[in-house]
Amino acid sequence: MSLLKLGELYKAVILEHAQQLHHHGQLPDVPGLTLNNPTCGDVIKVQLDIQDDQIQQIAFSGTGCTISQASASVMTDVLAKQSPAQAKTLIHDFSQLVMGDEIDATAKTQLGDAAVLGAVAEFPTRIRCAMLAWHAADQLLDELGGDPK
């Protein structure tokens, strides 16, 4: 088998995140949103604490594959301390990236470790895994958007 090819998807950064998840756990009294992946039954909950137009705290919990867990982990690094509007843009950029669309260099830089997940575009059956946490964050941002702060 070509383990080389497997290494293209599971780059070191991704494996490191999967082994040492960032912002993993539950935040008490912080709004959250749970999404599941109906093909495997995996569940991810994302929580966002937004104050003063900024994501002050972010966390995720649940179970999933290496891709969905690592993707959630890098996402928490990327979205922490962003404004909800910036977060929406970053989520959109990430979505473009894993769908195989070109994004500009600035956007790629802003995505940091998450940009490595662009390799998922070569593995179409795993795009859903990579997007799960980001979809949850996106929907949660929409839900929280109307709340007076």
Partner 1 sequence: MAMTNYRADFPILNTRINGEPLTYLDSAATSQKPQAVIDALVAYYQHDNANVHRGVYTLAAQATDQYEAVRDQVTAFINAPQRETVFFTRSTTESLNWVAQTYGEQFIGPQDEIVLTVMEHHSNLVPWQQLAIRKHAKLRYIGLTSDGQLDMDAAKRLITAKTKLVAVAETSNVLGVTNPIKALAALAHQNGAIIVVDGAQAVAHHPVDVQALDADFYAFSGHKMLAPTGIGVLYGKLDLLEQLTPAEFGGEMIDNVTQQTTTFAAIPQRFEAGTPNISGVIGLGAAITYLQQVGWSTIEAQEAQLTERLLNGLLKMDGVTVYGPHDLALHGPVVAFNLNGVHPHDVATGLDMAGVEVRAGHHCAQPLMAYLQTSATVRASVMFYNTPAEIDRLLTALAEVKEFFQS
Q: Contact residues for partner 1 (CB under 8 A)?
A: 1-3, 5-7, 9-10, 15, 39-43, 63-67, 123, 125-126, 129
The least CB distance from residue 62 to partner 1, in Å, is: 10
The least CB distance from residue 36 to partner 1, in Å, is: 9
Where are the alpha helices (H) located in 47-126, listed in sequence order?
66-79, 84-98, 105-111
As given in the structure block, the two tokens for residue 90 are: 């970053």
Q: Which lies closer to partner 1 via its Cβ, residue 63 or residue 83?
A: 63
Q: Which lies closer to partner 1 via its Cβ, residue 15 or residue 85?
A: 15
Distance CA 1, CA 64 (A): 25
Sheet containing strand 42-51, strands side by side: 32-37, 42-51, 54-63
Q: Are 35 and 132 in contact (CB under 8 A)?
A: yes
Q: Which lies closer to partner 1 via its Cβ, residue 114 or residue 119?
A: 119
Q: What are phi and psi of 138, to 5 degrees?
A: -60, -50
Q: Which lies closer to partner 1 via its Cβ, residue 72 or residue 141?
A: 72
The least CB distance from residue 69 to partner 1, in Å, is: 8
**Which sign does the torsion angle of CA 17, 138, 36, 126 carry?**
negative
